Amino acid sequence: MGKNSGQVKTGQDKEFVKAITPKDEDYSQWYIDVILKTKLMDYAPVKGFMAIRPEGYALWEKVQELLDKRFKDTGHQNAYFPLFIPQSLLQKEAEHVEGFAPEVAWVTKGGGEILTEPLVVRPTSEAIICDFYSRWVQSWRDLPVLINQWCNVVRWERSTRPFLRTSEFLWQEGHTCHRTEEEAEEETLKMLEVYREFLETEMAIPVVYGSKTEREKFAGALRTYSVEALMTDGRALQAGTSHNLGQHFARVFDIKFLDQDDQLKYVWQTSWGVSTRMLGALIMVHGDDRGLVLPPRMAPTQVVIVPILTKKDRDRVLDSVSELEKELREVLRIKLDNREEYSPGWKYNEWEMKGIPVRVEVGPRDIDKGHVVVVRRDNGEKEFVKREKLADRLQQLMVEIQDDMLKRALEFREANTRSGSDYKEFKKIMEEKRGLFLAPWCGESACEEKVKDDTKATIRCIPFDKQPEHEKCMICDKKATEAVYFARAY
């Protein structure tokens, strides 16, 4: 092809890899490079704010689709509540306002006039939703209320990082009301399990889970539970939280119902959420030095077809791949990349960087031999597949890749989960290797704080199923009451 066709020269193929800092060299820079080069996100003119570009938003749409189905299957409905919360509402629940007031954005002017009462841009919606619930819930017949909201929230952050911590982010927040304490606790744990199962099944991210300590729980909650994933730099990331709010909000917002026994009672509430920060976990758990690696179930495009075009065989190769695309589209999410201004090598690099699970290459010789070349993104394995068996083989590969990715992530997590009660050893590990560390703890905040001061590690969660292996707290000499996961966290 001539100069005017604008084909990118083969020498530029390696630009992709060069542009991404290797993980080992600088993990944070690797993360930023991957996000910017693959066009997942871009920085906004206002510090701490970002745009989620189409490639990144397509991942969020997948999260929404796959989680929303699970929410509806467990009986929830979606709704939408106002963006602005009057100052007086936010202030009703004391712990809640204390937790959120320092990081909110204030609207003080509207329609050219100074507002008589300043409004908070929602950092989370408990206060505004409880105000509605106090009117919507009257009788036991109105319960349970099982509502979820997909929306944007704003928390003014000092130091931000794409997806992981941004001043505005997208999330979902479930807000439910129940007749009894047991039902509320059941809902809280049910949604924690929905998150755990979603992360494992769809995102191929294994998690540990359990309750948060008093110090780490949600402002205003009775109990907070979380799912925690381990990133490949050994730091933990809280991927989702589920709160049993008890009757804290019901009492201050006066959410009462007439029960079957003719008694007026306060409802029991829960709230639970995951956000676009999940996408940060996806990048860090699976990505490598060539860029993104997407698990097939999450990948907006599962297979990319790249034709190898020569002057002589151009037309028949294009015909062949277009037929192939039509056939495969029935069973998989397919992209045919038949741009002629880019070389095959350039395209291979681009789609690898973008993490498409499988690449199918089709050249004139492949057509003659009745096969195609299939290349896996996760391990680089290449195989020749007979054309008539391709649809079956690709579907099988999607399952194999998804399984292998979860297995690798699980192996990494296991290799980086340690336990013990030697505080010196613990400090060394948090300094050098990081990872999760299961340790006996006395239950005192003072010990928790000491660990944070000494190592920056925090208690990620108190798992349900572990008993302390040692009698004494790792930090002090008091009796250990729990086994807890420590880690340095994002």
Q: Which residues bind its own copies (CB under 8 A)?
A: 4, 6, 42, 44-46, 49-54, 56-58, 60-61, 77-84, 86, 89, 102-112, 118-119, 121, 128, 131-132, 135-136, 141, 147, 151-152, 154, 156-158, 167-168, 170, 260, 341
Question: Minimum distance between the CB of residue 451 and its own copies, rounded to whole angstroms?
Answer: 27
Question: Minimum distance between the CB of residue 191 and its own copies, rounded to whole angstroms?
Answer: 17
CB 96 within 8 A of CB 256: no
CB closer to its own copies out of 22 and 54: 54
Question: Minimum distance between the CB of residue 106 and its own copies, rounded to whole angstroms?
Answer: 4
CB atoms within 10 A of CB 310: 9
Question: Minimum distance between the CB of residue 79 and its own copies, rounded to whole angstroms?
Answer: 5
Question: Minimum distance between the CB of residue 32 and its own copies, rounded to whole angstroms?
Answer: 16
CB closer to its own copies out of 17 and 58: 58
CB 171 within 8 A of CB 189: no
CB closer to its own copies out of 33 and 200: 33
Question: Minimum distance between the CB of residue 304 and its own copies, rounded to whole angstroms?
Answer: 16
Tell me how far apart the alpha carbons of residues 362 and 305 are, in angstroms, rounded to a whole number.
7
CB closer to its own copies out of 124 and 211: 124
Q: Coil, helix or strand for 472?
A: strand
CB atoms within 10 A of CB 182: 10
The alpha carbon of 204 is separated from its chain's Cα centroid by a whole number of angstroms, namely 11
CB closer to its own copies out of 80 and 368: 80
Tell me how far apart the alpha carbons of residues 230 and 215 are, in angstroms, rounded to a whole number.
21
Question: Minimum distance between the CB of residue 60 and its own copies, rounded to whole angstroms?
Answer: 8
Q: Considering only the C-alpha atoms of the chain, give the largest distance between any 2 of them, rounded to a whole number of Å.
A: 85
Question: Minimum distance between the CB of residue 251 and its own copies, rounded to whole angstroms?
Answer: 19
CB closer to its own copies out of 50 and 306: 50
CB 236 within 8 A of CB 488: yes
CB closer to its own copies out of 20 and 147: 147
Give CA separation, 167 vs 104, 127, 156, 218, 280, in Å: 9, 20, 5, 18, 15
Tell me how far apart the alpha carbons of residues 143 and 290 are, in angstroms, rounded to a whole number.
51
CB closer to its own copies out of 27 and 43: 43
**Residue 230: closest CA among 452, 404, 489, 33:** 489
CB atoms within 10 A of CB 415: 11
Q: Coil, helix or strand for 307?
A: strand
Question: Minimum distance between the CB of residue 264 and its own copies, rounded to whole angstroms?
Answer: 16
Give CA separation, 388 vs 332, 367, 371, 376, 392, in Å: 16, 12, 8, 19, 9
Checking phi first, is residue 456 left (phi over 0); if not, alpha (psi -120 to 50) or beta?
left
Tell me how far apart the alpha carbons of residues 175 and 190 are, in angstroms, rounded to a whole number.
13
CB 248 within 8 A of CB 221: yes
CB closer to its own copies out of 61 and 214: 61
Q: Which two tokens stand for residue 316?
A: 């028949």
Question: Minimum distance between the CB of residue 287 and its own copies, rounded to whole angstroms?
Answer: 21
CB closer to its own copies out of 147 and 177: 147
Question: Minimum distance between the CB of residue 377 and its own copies, rounded to whole angstroms?
Answer: 21
**Residue 248: closest CA among 218, 276, 284, 222:** 222
User: In degrees, to the nearest 5, what angle opens at C-alpha 252 toward C-alphas 141 and 194?
Assistant: 60
